[in-house]
Structure 1
Amino acid sequence: MTTAVAARTWRPAAGQLLPLLLAGALVLTAIAYPLTSGDARDAVSWTIVVLGSLLSVVHAGLSRGARTAAGLLLLVAVAAIAFESIGLATGFPYGSYEYSDVLGPTLLGVPFLVPLAWLMMAWPSWVLADRLVRPVRPERRRPARIAWAAGIFAAWDVVLDPQMVQAGYWTWAHPDPGLPGIDTVPLTNLAGWSFAGLVLMTLLDRLAARSPAPPRIGDAAPLLALGWMTLGGALAHAGWLGLPGSAAWGGALGAAVLVVLAVQHRRASRR
């Protein structure tokens, strides 16, 4: 009997450990990004994206089952290639841009790294949105979750896109007008990410709704990755990368979410 109880308590802990290890490795690798340059920085970028995408799939599988993990991988890959290939060919919905050869092999003009980056961003965005809508009435929870997830997905790119342009991974044909303080990325990109995010998160929400409830493990790992890539990224932009505009936006957006979470926690603790 003691052995059975120990097994039941160990399995969740063991299941939580792997995502946390991946999140920790992601954070450490992200710290190395502003401290490197040239080919070493390119290798760090690839490592960050691979770790982030692996974290998303592993956490989805351990928390909501293998079918959810497989569906997440397929859904994000198809959505990323579809939106990005259309964007490259037509300029819709992001604006006119092109990738450099640094990112390596492509499919329909889309570097393999790009769907992995979408995967890294999409799942933590949905997980955070799921947490943010817990106080919302059940009948309003799904549209609120989709809206939050799409907004977080787009906001994350506000920090990442100027960094990637600075690294030479892609360039915009018409970067103006942009957000105040960001003169290398057009506002059309934010609009495009918001639109793509709404489509992707609507589909992802339906996928996650079919998974077992409640989740089998907690969401600390994807939230740690999301928090560090946003707030830690803002710190790197301000202190090392010379990107004060995106640093300010990243700090403001990250702080806004933290305030919402703090208010929710305070209200819940009063009940």
Structure 2
Amino acid sequence: GWPFGSYEYSGTLGYQIYGVPLVVPFAWVMIAHPVLIAARKVTKNWVFLYGGLGMMAWDLFLDPQMVAAERWIWEFTGPNVPLQPDIPLSNTFGWLLTGMGLMAILNRVLRQDRRNTIDVPSIPNFFLGWTFFSGVVGNIFFFSTPGVALTGGLVFGLLMVPYIFVLRFGPPTNI
């Protein structure tokens, strides 16, 4: 349905609530917090946008794997994600919108000063690094989908450049 496009979950992901497998929100939570931390380090005013792009980039790796494993099936005839012929472009737009909404809510609800005792959030960094590494390596060597590795790796990698820059050199001082 809107905004992702027309799709249907198979019954292989377990228990469903309102037609959505229970495991799906847990997958979102797993990556949403690391993306939120990265977004907060990179920007103060645009956390929702940076975070939404992060969620969208993550899905560029995830969705093709789930479709190949027949966890859900897309029904579309329109444009597809570049180098991902089984994924509708509307899904990417849907992830951007939903991710921006989720990041706006999390940024508002989760306190920023709660864990200021460490400078480098090593566990979120591990999750972000693992997402990139496993997405690229897995799609090239295990799933034989180099187009997914290229698309996801390029988008997710470019998104992580400002975060790595801030971690390495600190936030800009002229703002």
After superposition, what is the alpha-carbon deviation per residue over 1:136-195, rounded to whole angstroms, capped at 9, x for unaligned?
A: xxxxx23x1121111101111011100111111101011641121101110110111111
1:188 to 90, 93, 113: 90
d(CA) in 1 for partners of 2:115, 2:30: 23
Q: Higher strand share goes to which structure?
A: 2
Q: TM-score, normalised by structure 1?
A: 0.58
2:5 to 95, 111, 114: 95
Gapped regions of structure 1 (runs ≥ 5)? 1-90, 134-140
1:253 to 143, 155, 169: 155
Secondary structure of 2:80's match? coil
* 8 Å CA contact retained: 2:67, 2:73: yes
d(CA) in 2 for partners of 1:181, 1:198: 24
Structure 1: which amino acid aligns with 2:113? P
d(CA) in 2 for partners of 1:150, 1:163: 21
The corresponding residue for 1:30 is none
Percent identical among aligned pairs is 34
* 8 Å CA contact retained: 1:176, 1:183: no
1:130 to 35, 40, 57: 40
**Pair member with larger Rg:** 1
* 8 Å CA contact retained: 2:132, 2:157: no
Secondary structure of 2:84's match? coil
* 8 Å CA contact retained: 1:176, 1:184: no
Q: How many residues align?
A: 172
d(CA) in 2 for partners of 1:270, 1:114: 36
d(CA) in 1 for partners of 2:149, 2:32: 21
* Deviation, structure 1 residue 215: 2.4
* Deviation, structure 1 residue 231: 2.7
Residues 230 and 263 (structure 1 numbering): CA distance in 2 closer, same or farther, change over 3 Å?
A: closer
The corresponding residue for 2:22 is 112
Gapped regions of structure 2 (runs ≥ 5)? none
Secondary structure of 1:98's match? strand
Structure 1: which amino acid aligns with 2:6? S
* 8 Å CA contact retained: 1:231, 1:250: no
* 8 Å CA contact retained: 1:100, 1:168: yes
Q: Higher helix share goes to which structure?
A: 1
